[in-house]
Chain A
């Protein structure tokens, strides 16, 4: 298994540009999430999905869109990039919710470092 993969690894955008960060997992996990990490801080949840066709907002959703058309993929779209969106973005997946570690443990991708000028 490749686990959770993210592309690109690095990206530089100009203010106002749009782009999509890709995330894929090959573990047949139901839950997928997007986080951002700013310097000196923990991760904050942007959006998450509990299954194909179902998404919900996290702590900091403004300026981002998501969709989940397949179990494997969970892309994050920046509609009109702003300097405040300069951050490292992590995608994560989890089997589901249940009583055992195999359901609840969350696994993270390698991250995308985004700079908005």
Chain B
């Protein structure tokens, strides 16, 4: 099956800093989503982005499908951005969403 690798596994920032999270995948995909799991365990949809670039406030994401990676940008980070960020993909030939292991983000005041 498809392999999904996220980096870095852990990231600690000071409030106000910017960061880039990366998701590499091993096969062609027609579905890629970024999720934020907050400290209470809730999974929140951030982006559905199988290709191209999207922005939502301080967050933006870019997927380069031909090179099999996606990037999530967080600007001017806030303590409420803390949690785990997951990338999940569905390969073009498949029917299942496969998750990476996540990036644990801690934003300190």
Contacts and interface: CB of A to CB of B under 8 A. Distances in A.
Interface of B: 1, 4, 30-31, 33, 35, 41-43, 45, 48, 50, 86, 88, 90, 95-102
A11 B35 CA distance: 25
Interface residues on A, range: 20 to 34
11 contacts: A33-B97, A41-B102, A43-B88, A45-B97, A59-B1, A59-B96, A90-B43, A104-B48, A104-B50, A105-B45, A110-B42
Contacts of A50: 95
Nearest to A107: B45
Contact of A106 (B33, B42, B101): B33
Contacts, number: 54
The B interface is mostly helix, strand or loop, or mixed, namely: strand
